[in-house]
Amino acid sequence: MVIDLSGRTALVTGSGAGIGRAIAAGLHAAGAHVVVNDLTQEGVDAAVERIADGGAAERLRGVAADLGTADGAAALIEAAPDVDVLVNNVGIAWPRGAFELADEDWQRLFDVNVMSGVRMARHHVPRMVERGWGRTIFVSSECGLHIPREMVHYGMSKAAVLAVARGFAESVPGTGVTVNSVVPGPTRTEGSEAFMRPLIGEGMTLDEVEARYLETDRPSSLLGRFTQPQEIANLVVYLASEQASATTGSALRADGGVVRSVG
């Protein structure tokens, strides 16, 4: 299978690092013009430079915006009003007990993880429908299916993402526009290391930390290791392609078998 996104424009939110940057790089490698988004201009510039890696930089553009706010979402929409592929990836997380979180913590996480995608899809999906083609992909998490006790707030938000994605898909049947979500499992990113070390302890290699985390918190993993961001990006690039035209309203897992279900 050869995926060619030449002539398409893609927007990947939260693509300054981690899974988002890998997705942006994958779409760029497939020929798309890619709009990179991060919270800061420094993050945007660094991601664009890394993705370009000396070539095809003319197909890359960066926009700094805080998508956890309505103003930030509006600024990004103004900067990139028409895209063929929308990847709602931006998200935040931190480990903390459910009883320790203040109202503003719950609200900030919901605004970033859920409302960012709602605002982007609310603008872009109808415009895709007008053109008769489009791909919208929400990045959820296996935490939305298996709510982690150390991050109930994060699991809540990722469960909401699954519902939102299905709801938008239900809203545009037979239009040539597909809406799906992807469900990563534990993935090796800059953020995952920062998350795990306080839970497990210092003085261990990253491989040891990950192995211990899977043993204690995700023993159902069939992969037996963390996924790499590029492995998640591969699935997203497929969903962004012509070849995925019959896949919509779905939650596709790249969770390493963590979720013990065939559905």
**Cβ distance 236 to 137 under 8 Å?**
yes
pLDDT at 3 over 90: yes
pLDDT at 15 over 70: yes
**Cβ distance 51 to 24 under 8 Å?**
yes
Could you report the per-residue pLDDT of 134-182, keeping only the tens digit for each?
Answer: 999 999 999 999 899 889 999 999 999 999 999 999 999 999 999 999 9
Q: For residue 48, what pLDDT is reported?
A: 96
Q: Which of 20, 24, 13 is nearest to 68 (CA)?
A: 13
Cβ atoms < 10 Å from Cβ of 99: 6
**Cβ distance 104 to 121 under 8 Å?**
no
More confident residue, 41 or 192: 41
Decide if 213 is catalytic.
Answer: no
Cβ atoms < 10 Å from Cβ of 102: 8
Inter-CA distances, 254 with 44, 187, 231, 259, Å: 26, 10, 8, 10
Inter-CA distances, 7 with 28, 140, 189, 200, 227, Å: 11, 27, 30, 46, 30
Could you report the per-residue pLDDT of 67-117, keeping only the tens digit for each?
Answer: 999 999 999 999 999 999 999 999 999 888 899 999 999 999 999 999 999
Q: Where are the domains of the chain?
A: 9-185+228-252, 192-226
- Cα(256)–Cα(180) distance, rounded to whole angstroms? 19
9-185+228-252, superfamily in CATH? NAD(P)-binding Rossmann-like Domain (3.40.50.720)
Q: For residue 261, what pLDDT is reported?
A: 84
- Cα(45)–Cα(230) distance, rounded to whole angstroms? 20
CA dihedral 235, 238, 243, 248 (to 10 degrees): 60
Return the half-sphere exposure (C-beta side, CA atoms, 13 A cut-off) of residue 116: 35
Could you report the per-residue pLDDT of 195-209, keeping only the tens digit for each?
Answer: 766 656 667 777 888
- Band of residue 193 on the pLDDT scale cut at 50, 70, 90: confident
Question: Which residue among the candidates 88, 91, 134, 154 is catalytic per the annotation?
Answer: 154
Cβ atoms < 10 Å from Cβ of 241: 20
Length of the chain: 263
Q: For residue 201, what pLDDT is reported?
A: 63
Q: For residue 56, what pLDDT is reported?
A: 73
Could you report the per-residue pLDDT of 208-257, keeping only the tens digit for each?
Answer: 888 888 888 888 888 889 999 999 999 999 999 999 999 999 999 999 98
Could you report the per-residue pLDDT of 31-60, keeping only the tens digit for each?
Answer: 999 999 999 999 999 999 999 976 678 899
Return the half-sphere exposure (C-beta side, CA atoms, 13 A cut-off) of residue 12: 31
